[in-house]
Amino acid sequence: MGATKQDVGSALARRLGAQLELTPAEMDALDTLEARPRVILRGRAIDGSGQPGFYVLRSGWAASGISLADGRRQIACIHLPGDLLGMLDHTRGAGVDVLSALTDVEVGTIDRGALARLFEAHPRLGALLLLQAHRERLSLNDRLAAVGRTDAKARLAGLILDLASRQRALDPSLGATMPMPLTQEEIGDALGLTAVHVNRMMRQLAEAGLIARGTGASITLCQEDRLAELSGFVDRANAIETDWLPAPRG
Amino acid sequence: MGATKQDVGSALARRLGAQLELTPAEMDALDTLEARPRVILRGRAIDGSGQPGFYVLRSGWAASGISLADGRRQIACIHLPGDLLGMLDHTRGAGVDVLSALTDVEVGTIDRGALARLFEAHPRLGALLLLQAHRERLSLNDRLAAVGRTDAKARLAGLILDLASRQRALDPSLGATMPMPLTQEEIGDALGLTAVHVNRMMRQLAEAGLIARGTGASITLCQEDRLAELSGFVDRANAIETDWLPAPRG
DNA sequence: CGTCACCTTGAATAATTTCAATCGACGTGG
DNA sequence: CCACGTCGATTGAAATTATTCAAGGTGACG
């Protein structure tokens, strides 16, 4: 699960461009935003600098979340390429949000100040970043509802469907089998479960024929409809309300 | 617990102004943003129109969250005056986020388009809204960590401290006793617990002398330090990173 | 004075964690 | 090459935690 080849262009531009037709000037602005790509090995922290920073995930998977006093942690969000990272540390000082690499990852850095210039020069992109932020909030809402109100099996099924949907959005050629690089402990950290219990639920899903576990870090969704029914999963990958945005520039 | 008198000026301007010195032009822009105040009675939905809308909570408490297929719900966020509501429906279409009035509330409406003009005319306010959004994301992270990784008593203690901290930020004169208009069922919906269990935990906290339950919809925090220790609560009401923001206009 | 919403309590049940082992794969140094 | 240590997956049994089910109880309000 190393960093894959995505070395050209801006991952952020690709992400935003998938939702909205960007003007050439907007694309240029996003391209120059993303600088100094850096590779971080699996399991390492992204940005241990102590200073808040903005990053764009260019390849690989990352997790953001909180570490508790007793050493346990809660993963709030599993990030795939194109996600903007590090924003939380800008709301309350560094260290609030713990970013770690779930696979080997490549991140681009966004200079302090460059983002401010983006807001000034391209109001529409600023508003789009706001939308993007609230979209992450929405997916946190979904996660919270799953953790607070559904049992372990449903949570696991929901996570699998969520990751499947998001990976397919990035790579439409994906079929029923897809990468699943998380350890069971990491899955537990995301779902508020122990690794032991994740293991049991995974076995149950496999025994029921809903999923099949590949040998490598992969998984196959055998009966998506039943997974969806089990988890109450609703795919959010549909229309976005963009008609309130400012007019583009350039 | 009716709507209190806060009929002058913009609740949003007050909120943002508490974090940052606003220029007169910025304050004007925020003032004109907030229009058509409307009162909604306790228990009612805010915005059942089916159309996404932006609202500013001017007085009272509101909840945002998700309703599950089986009729249960998960409250994701408890909103106090000054909060911006309705943004989530702009990411994925109406109905994604369920807003309801926890007390009688007064909300102001923000016109579609007015927000776009704000981004164009005042990039700094746009960026500040982005910060605000990520701050809500942070508090969702905290909530998720509580629901996923701590037991019922700790969750309850944490919620009490959170609401205390946020109410004090709005009204510095508040002491140990403060409004607590939520029913135990609503508290359960926020914490991922049943009302029955909330009741038991509340009794335990009261019997241990950590809190005292007032007769009205109020609560007294008797031993905040022990509540904090119990819940691992970290108060996020400190410095905000604003030095990356664009320069103000006006 | 009845009704409704909310709070309270107990007992039985179910879900999840904790504790304790074991196993396989994999890389490392001897 | 092989022993060794580590990490992750796996499984069982006991202990906890929270839910469910079932009854009251209380206060506000028409």
Q: Which residues touch strand C (CB under 7 A)?
A: A 151-153, 192-194, 196-197, 200; B 43, 183-185, 195-196, 199-200, 202-203, 213
Contact residues, A window 181-200, toward B, CB-based 8 Å cutoff: 191-192
CB contact set of B65 (below 8 Å; sequence gap of 6+): A141, A145, B73, B74, B75, B76, B77, B97, B98, B189, B190
**Helix/strand/coil for A39:** strand
Say whether both A26 and A121 belong to one domain: yes
Q: Same domain for A16 and A100?
A: yes
Query: Alpha-carbon distance A228 to A158, whole Å?
Result: 7
Whether B239 maps to a domain, the answer reads: no
Residue B6 lies in a domain: no
For residue A235, give the nearest of A168, A186, A150 by alpha carbon: A168
B75 and B169 share one domain: no
Higher pLDDT, B168 or A54: B168
| DSSP-derived pairing of the beta strands A54-59 and A105-110 | antiparallel
Q: Are B162 and B127 found together in one domain?
A: no
A79-83, B8-12, B187-191: least confident range: B8-12
Average the pLDDT over B125-142 and give the result.
Answer: 91
Structural domain total, chain A:
2
Within-domain flag for B144: no
- Claim to verify: residue B88 and residue B157 sit in the same structural domain: no
Question: Quick check: B238 contacting A, CB < 8 Å?
Answer: yes
Does residue A88 sit in the same domain as residue A127? yes
B28/B118 same-domain check:
yes
Check which CATH number belongs to the domain holding B219 and give it. Answer: 1.10.10.10
pLDDT tens track of chain A, all 250 residues?
333 444 457 888 988 888 889 999 999 999 888 888 899 999 999 976 767 788 999 999 999 999 998 889 999 999 999 999 988 877 776 668 899 999 999 999 998 888 899 999 999 999 999 888 988 999 999 999 999 999 999 999 999 999 999 999 999 999 999 999 999 999 999 999 999 999 999 999 999 999 999 888 999 999 999 999 999 998 887 666 777 899 998 7
Q: How many angstroms separate the CA atoms of B133 and B246, rounded?
A: 17
Under 8 Å between Cβ of B80 and B166: yes
Both structure tokens of B200:
């038991």
Chain segment B109-121, per-residue pLDDT in tens: 998 888 899 999 9
> For residue A70, is it within any domain?
yes
Determine contact: B129 vs chain A, CB below 8 A.
yes
List C-alpha distances in Å: A85 to A46, A57, A246, B89, B117: 9, 7, 24, 23, 27
Q: Which nucleotide is nearest to A195 (CA to C1')?
A: D9
CATH of the domain at B37: 2.60.120.10
Q: Which of B136, B167, B184 is the last residue of a domain?
A: B136
- Domain final position from B72, B103, B136: B136
Distance from CA of B205 to the nearest CA of A (A): 21
My answer on whether A19 and A95 are in the same domain is: yes
CB pair distance less than 8 Å for B144 and A141: no
In the numeric block, which tokens belong to residue A123? 């109001």
Indicate whether B171 and B129 sit together in one domain.
no
Find, among B19, B11, B15, B94, the residue nearest to B59 by Cα. B11
Q: Which nucleotides in chain D have some atom under 7 angstroms from a protein Cβ?
A: 7-13, 17-22
**Alpha helices, H only, B57-151:** 89-92, 114-121, 123-149
Same domain, B123 and B171: no
> Residue B2: pLDDT band by 50, 70, 90 thresholds?
very low
pLDDT of amino acid B94? 64
pLDDT band at B73 (very low <50, low <70, confident <90, very high): very high
Could you tell me which of A118, A120, A125, A248 has the C-alpha nearest to residue B249?
A120
Inside any domain, residue B34: yes
Report B:48-67 residues touching A (Cβ under 8 A): 52, 65-66
Beta bridge pairs of residue A149: none
Nearest-angstrom CA–CA distance, B120 and A246:
7
Among residues B194, B191, B168, the alpha carbon closest in space to that of B80 is found at B168
Q: How far is CA B121 from the centre of its chain?
A: 27
Does A239 map to a domain?
Answer: no
Measure CA to C1' and name the residue nearest D10: A199
Q: Which pLDDT belongs to residue B87?
A: 85
Reported as a single tens digit per residue, the pLDDT across B204-236 is: 999 999 999 988 899 999 999 999 999 999 888
Together in a domain, A24 and A115? yes
Give the end of a domain, one of A106, A136, A166. A136
Q: Quick check: A68 contacting B, CB < 8 Å?
A: yes
Instruction: Indicate if A105 and A132 belong to the same structural domain.
Output: yes
**Residue B65 belongs to what domain range?**
11-136
* Domain assignment of residue B91, yes or no: yes
In a domain, B249, yes or no: no
